[in-house]
Amino acid sequence: MARTKSLKIGFLITIFTGGILLLVAYGPGWLQPVRVYHQVLVGLLVADDENSSDILAAYQAVLKEEGFPAARINPDDLNLSPGELVARYPALILPEGLNQALPPEVPRLLSDYVLAGGNVLLVYDPGIRAAGGGRLAETVLARLAGVNYGLPDPGGESYSGYWQFSSPREALAWGITPGKLSRGNAVSSYGYGRLNYRHVRARLLDARAIAFDTGGGWNPVITDKLYPSGGAVVYVNLPLAFYKQMSDDLAMRSVLRTFLIKYARLPRLVNTPGGKGGLVLNFHLDSNAHILPLRAMIQRGIFRPDLQYSIHITAGPDTYRPGDGLGFDAPSPVKGRPWVEVLQKYGAIGSHGGWIHNYFAANLEKFPRQEVWRYLALNCDTLAAITGKPVREYSAPVGNHPPFVNEWLQQHGILAYYSPGGLPAVSSRAARSAAACGPFPLPLTGNTRPWKNS
């Protein structure tokens, strides 16, 4: 009897002890509400599905390259509590052309979102039309943004103007280096002066103007409105995807990076090892005028054997026109060839245009295609014959790089070229009308000319 009682007590103690061990094993979380984790994303709001593919692809490409996870969302996805929406999408972007007519509840949802600490980037024309397509006297997001945009213009719905900053320091804060600024701190090009950008007419309400245009009367180009919640609304009066698709990476990349890092303070996956960038030292030898400076550079040790340079040469005997005798003349054993043989010790020899530097640049778009191909091949083949190595790099003379040149470069093994667009970018596949075209462009420092930027 005593033995049976002892066994029962022992059994109960075992169960009790086991229960305690199970509680310990599961930890304190067993007694607490379950925490739900989700990925922090940039939300790309799309209200108009019909025109979304090319525009959306441009934004997605840059965001991916810059290391910001992003997701396309529609207006119904905004129907979360403001706090939950901010936690899931700390930054919302309304791309141009995809949100001109917004559902009536969207302005209120975006206002609640910003008042809860969210950040909104409005690009060019969101909310400027009624549901029937007519232009509104005041965009539905004007009060939220502190700027009324899409106002009537005598020349039509938009006009061509400049992109200016109050100072080089302000421009640098938006990723525009001093070498890209011209008169009036306007974003400029490769020897062609101030770039023309498409704008709509706008009027400040209570936003701060960061960038502007003075070409046809003062007009805001970038504005911000900061809220006590920590939220912000940034308006950009530029069709960013259009310029990205026309090979000008500058506008979209500088705006997205500044908005997402400075305003939304989002983490990102940096696309260089250790977060350190690289710099390619690219020399151009256009004509025989460069031979004397080249000799001095080598004598003074500017070319170092422990650094690999990128050295691009226009190889022909002429420069301004056929027969002028002013070229680098790489085939000549007493002119250019000895220099090519010396320079190949210091890095890669690349091709600079097509055989006759200024003549080729001036007539590139007038020549029949076969003539263009002939000059390009002559330059590359001459340099390859001297070095014994295939040419893998290219640069455009006078910055003139129309997209059809990429057809030839891609077919002939060129891996990279210097790009007249996309200054703040890393090397990334260029696009024209949303299609990747040719080898990888390496953006330039200094003044550049995106192709047919208008």
> How many C-beta atoms lie closer than 10 Å to residue 45's C-beta?
24
Residue 30 confidence (pLDDT): 45
- Termini Cα distance of the chain: 101
More confident residue, 14 or 277: 277
Mean pLDDT of 182-208: 91
Write the Ramachandran bin of 52: left for phi over 0, alpha for psi from -120 to 50, otherwise beta: alpha
Mean pLDDT of 120-142: 95
pLDDT of 14 over the 60 cut: no
Place of tokens 């930054």: 91
Residue 25 confidence (pLDDT): 45
pLDDT of 189 over the 90 cut: no
Q: Please write the tens of the pLDDT for every residue from 307-339.
A: 899 999 999 999 999 999 999 999 999 999 999
pLDDT of 414 over the 70 cut: yes
> How many C-beta atoms lie closer than 10 Å to residue 32's C-beta?
8
Strand bridging mode 232-236 / 219-226? antiparallel
Residue 15 confidence (pLDDT): 42
Which has the minimum average pLDDT: 179-188, 201-210, 411-420?
411-420
pLDDT of 142 over the 50 cut: yes
Residue 380 confidence (pLDDT): 97
Residue 444 confidence (pLDDT): 57
pLDDT of 395 over the 80 cut: yes
Q: Determine what percent of the chain is predicted with pLDDT higher than 70.
A: 83
Place of tokens 């213009």: 153
More confident residue, 310 or 183: 310
Which has the minimum average pLDDT: 90-104, 145-159, 213-227?
145-159
Mean residue pLDDT of the chain comes to: 86
More confident residue, 50 or 407: 407
> How many C-beta atoms lie closer than 10 Å to residue 184's C-beta?
15
Mean pLDDT of 42-67: 90
